[in-house]
Amino acid sequence: MTDPPTLSEAEAANRLMRLAKDIAKHNKLYHAEDAPQISDADYDALVRENNELEAAFPHLVRADSPNAQVGASVEASPLAKVTHEKRMYSLDNAFADEDVAEFIARIRRYLALSEDEPVAMTAEDKIDGLSLSIRYENRVLVLASTRGDGQVGEDVTPNVRTIADIPNELPADAPDIFEVRGEVYMAKADFTALNERLMEEGRKLAEQKGVEFDPETVRQFANPRNAAAGSLRQKDASVTATRPLRFLAHGWGVASAVPGDTQHGVIETIRRWGFPVSEHFVLLEGADALLAQYCKIETERAEMPYDIDGVVYKVDRLDWQERLGFVAKAPRWAIAHKFPAEKAQTTLLEIDIQVGRTGKLTPVGRLKPVTVGGVVVSNVTLHNRDEIARLGVRPGDRVVVQRAGDVIPQIVENLTREQERAPYIFPDHCPKEFGGCGSEAVAEEGEVDVRCTAGLICPAQRIERLKHFVSRGALDIEGLGEKSIEEFFGLGWLEHGPPDIFRLKNHREDLLAREGWKDKSVENLLAAVENKRSPDAARLLFGLGIRHIGAVTARDLLKGLGDIRRLPGKAAEFATYRLENPRGPDEKESPFNARMVAAVKRIFEVQTDGIGIAVGHALADFFHEPHNMAVWDDLLSEVSPPDYIVETVASPVSGQTIVFTGKLETMSRDEAKAQAEKLGARAAGSVSASTDLVVAGPGAGSKLKKAAELGIRVIDEAEWAEIVSAAG
């Protein structure tokens, strides 16, 4: 963020315009579509920047300022609209202890209170749910609505009647008109059970249709808040009734009479009426007491049954609340003290070892499930042997987990490192208990990764290579998923690797005799295999799983070679070159590397700058192995890949390097990369200084941030579609 005073007035106006647009977009994604693209912390940073700019340039405050907006419009919602009789406000945020002290001082100044005048406050955990207002008339539930933009929400009355926590009637002593306000949420355990149930329903449906079950076809919820919001907004209340929704009350709206003169008193009355209220709802006095409660709740956060993202403080006296009133979108008498973003504490239960298709041993931590940044995390990468040693982690340790770049969970701190227990010993042999072969596992010189030395005789590597071969980025054989690969490999049907996939038709009768396979599913599978007899050459090369040969590198190699059958000869030529042209005794590393790169580009007829020494060595080593050559020859006896020819058209992105990131909604990633190649551009997998353009879809994370840091142009999918369309 740019320091506001260093901006010119024109720059500040331009930045405020951009912030208003961005914040409005993310408000809509979060409140109206339940599909946030950025973390709460990143959203809060945008709001803070906007507030600082408005404070520094008050005459530039816009009519569409985020500080005048609450939630998001519900215009596109299929549910009926409800205008709130009393606006549903949001809360201002505090991020540091000093902000809380200033909040109390601000109240004292506004009310002209003396320093010794007590200021009682309620404190409660800020649940991460969906705001709801429930209206009772003559003590009977008549209307329930979401917050929407604070003024207009959605009518969800039939759905709310299915939530057991919400009474349909209030006691006789309740006012004639009273609106209870709070949050609809889904408990962590219920969220996990719901996703498991959806997975099981998908499995049963696949069995009924006689097709192989593909877990990726099952729509599961990303986090408890999305699950709660999606369940509450169902057009069919019978669907909502099957979802484990809960409710916590924390306030009220319109009331013909208020049953008390303090926040604490009214909330306790609402509790007595039968509404759940937070167990952490307490009455306190002074900043120190509030901060102590904040620390207590933060410590217990990971173990709580539902997700929270902070603690809310409210002035207790209602007459003071009345005097303090509201600013544009928030009350002056309340504030949300947010937790530091994206971290949580949990227990490391086990350390498993995964053996990848290149033989790399990757340690994976199995955690007691915990919510981090709105996502339930139960597994975490431990990267490699050195990372385990650095953290000193062992099963049973209490650890701090964060989501790096909002995507990859990782352990950042071991809280019980000093406990006297034996250290974790990283395996020096390929672990049989995790599907390995028991062969020696070593780290090559200059590398931190430990790899199994057995190569393709290791069953774990062979299975992973087979899974990779049929994956969507490679041959994309529909109906042949990971489960089937494991099943067929165990039966010995894929003993010779990828070529055996094209001989599965020889096992048709055996397959029909197996549980879960019927005539239709078997015929569909065999037809899908036959459909790949003339595979795209680049996909075929990528599917072999050769180290350092990704999808983009495979295409770049074949752009020059054209015929994939030329590859073994070129690999042998480079192997001979490196043997006959070693680094001279007086030759410095940089000139030697430049010479080797030039040799790679010349021998493999490379037309781009994205291929270097590592690729040359990987190809030379792969095709030098007799077993690999046997598999290669066998595979080419089963398939006939056509020459790789890329027809390009002139376009504004010709010659540029493009990175696609996030979720593309109208096309697959492979289709987008193919479009880029047709337009004369190169699709890369990572953002660097040589990147010219980034196409970002929803959920873009670290790549988008890096693009911003490097000042690289970023467009969305719609703008990319316009470029493609214009090029014809």
Contact 210, 518 (CB under 8 A): yes
> Distance (Å, rounded) from C-alpha 227 to C-alpha 197?
13
Please confirm, yes or no, whether 588 is among the known catalytic residues: no
Beta strand 334-338 pairing with 308-315: antiparallel
> Distance (Å, rounded) from C-alpha 255 to C-alpha 241?
29
> Distance (Å, rounded) from C-alpha 207 to C-alpha 209?
5
Contact 305, 192 (CB under 8 A): no
Sheet holding 693-696, edge to edge: 682-684, 657-661, 693-696, 713-715
Which long-range contacts (C-beta less than 8 Å, at least 24 apart) are formed by 424-432?
424/351, 424/388, 424/393, 424/394, 424/395, 426/361, 426/363, 426/385, 426/388, 426/389, 426/450, 427/353, 427/361, 430/355, 430/359, 430/361, 430/454, 430/458, 430/460, 431/353, 431/355, 431/361
Q: Determine how many CB atoms are found less than 10 A away from the CB of residue 34.
A: 19
Radius of gyration of the chain (CA): 30
Q: Identity (one letter) of the amino acid at 146?
A: T
Question: At 452, phi and psi to the nearest 5?
Answer: -65, 135
DSSP letter for each residue of 80-121? PEEE-SS------EE-SHHHHHHHHHHHHHHHT--TTS--EE
- Residue 119 CB contacts under 8 Å (≥ 6 apart), including other chains: 104, 107, 108, 113, 285, 286, 315
> Distance (Å, rounded) from C-alpha 221 to C-alpha 193?
11
How many residues in the chain?
728
- The token pair at 74 is 């519900």
- The token pair at 17 is 């315009």
> Distance (Å, rounded) from C-alpha 409 to C-alpha 399?
12
> Distance (Å, rounded) from C-alpha 216 to C-alpha 201?
13
Q: Identity (one letter) of the amino acid at 91?
A: L
Q: How far, in whole angstroms, is CA 469 from its chain's centroid?
A: 25
Which one of the listed residues 28, 126, 338, 467 is annotated catalytic? 126
| Helix or strand run (H / E) with residue 133 | strand 130-137
Write b or e for each residue in 222-257: b if 16 or more Cβ atoms lie within 10 A of its Cβ, otherwise e.
bbbbbbbbbbbbbeeeeebeebbbbbbbbbbbebee
Closest CA to 367 of 437, 333, 414: 414
Cα dist. 296→253, 310, 339, 568, 626 in Å?
29, 11, 12, 64, 63
Q: Which residues pair with 503 in a beta bridge?
A: none
In angstroms, how far is the first alpha carbon of the chain from the final one?
40
3-state secondary structure of 347: strand
> Distance (Å, rounded) from C-alpha 603 to C-alpha 580?
14
Q: Give me the active site residues, please.
A: 126
